[in-house]
Homo-oligomer: A and B are copies of this chain.
């Protein structure tokens, strides 16, 4: 019978105590994706974010609105109520709320008291994305995602996954490129990927953590080879995956054929924003915004890559859900995890989230 030595288990536990995990409070003071533009419409929509049930709609003038979904009177869901102009009339006793969350009419009273309201959350639109600020602090001036997301030179497609797993585990997944050779063996992983050299960057002050991996020479899987015209050719595949806050993870990949001189190489890039919004401690809204800086006129590339990538990200979803189920099935005393060299960026990121959560709480 083998088993981990007690001192190794204790060391693993001591390290984990400083890392963000399922029990770590959410970071509220950050911009998160609330949804895509079309999630805000004249039809009321419910979505839970950072554990809080919200209702989404748009005013008649087109402004997106996010309110607490719970009528403060008797807890009826506003998302099952009636949108009248820019207001919601509660489907139970008729309390009317304006787009700022203020209760402006109570049927059985002459006047609505000033102070009754549901919380309204600041929103910002950025192209197809709608960001929300859930915290008590002043919203940050800048959105966390760069301009490329709205740049016409970067044609893009979007996807959404409801992930039954921790958002921390998703971020960790994105900061470890080793898994491409295993979870994505059938899609965009290749066997050489896991063993390729990689670099880690950590910037605790800025809350930025990245891994880079250059694989060359390599043969690209169809998802990359076909749109870049590198099928059957020795190529370079240079990926950089960067966590830049609890809601955004950007993966940039560059490709070129090794049969082309450095001067003639095209600047072919694919960038995927993995937009991560915790729903609960163990479920996550996982939004994808996926763009490229080439083939701008060719919509068939967009649809080909969208289909291929959706299949690949679904592999992450299934893998992370298997992990989440395993954690739930494991007796608490057996739940320690051991980190290895390739976890350096992920561990630094989890330590940072842990410290940020402590700072928000204290």
A interface residues with partner B (beta carbon < 8 Å): 1-5, 8, 12, 48, 51-53, 68-70, 72-77, 80, 89-95, 100-102, 106-109, 115-122, 169, 172, 176, 178-179, 181-183, 194-195, 198, 319, 322-323, 325-327, 329-331, 334-343
Contacts of A94 in B (CB 8 A): 178-179, 181-182, 194
Given contacts A74-B337, A90-B182, 15 further A-B contacts (CB under 8 A): A2-B101, A3-B101, A12-B72, A52-B331, A69-B326, A70-B330, A72-B336, A73-B340, A75-B330, A93-B178, A93-B179, A93-B340, A94-B179, A107-B195, A109-B342
In the complex, what residue of chain B is closest to A115 when comparing beta carbons?
A: B8
Cβ contacts under 8 Å, A48 to chain B: 329
**A53 and B326: CB pair below 8 A?**
yes
- CB-defined contacts of A169 to chain B, threshold 8 Å: 74
- Smallest CB gap from A68: residue in B: B334
Q: How many copies does the complex hold?
A: 3
Residues of B within 8 A of A69 (CB): 326
Q: CB within 8 A of A2: which of B90, B102, B325? A: B102
A154 CB to nearest B CB, Å: 31
Question: How long is the Cα–Cα vector from A77 to B75 in the complex, in angstroms?
Answer: 37
Contact indicator A108/B75 (Cβ below 8 Å): no
Q: Could you tell me if A117 and B178 are in contact, using CB atoms closer than 8 angstroms?
A: no
A70 to B334, CA, bound (A): 9
A119 vs B109: C-alpha distance in the bound complex, in angstroms? 50
Question: In the bound complex, what is the Cα–Cα distance between A306 and B344 (angstroms)?
Answer: 57
Residues of B within 8 A of A53 (CB): 326, 329-330
In the bound complex, how far is the Cα of B319 from the Cα of A77, in angstroms? Answer: 9
Complex: A68 Cα to B329 Cα, angstroms: 12
Across-interface contacts of A1 in B (CB, < 8 A):
119-122
Q: Quote the shortest CB–CB distance from A238 to chain B (angstroms).
A: 17
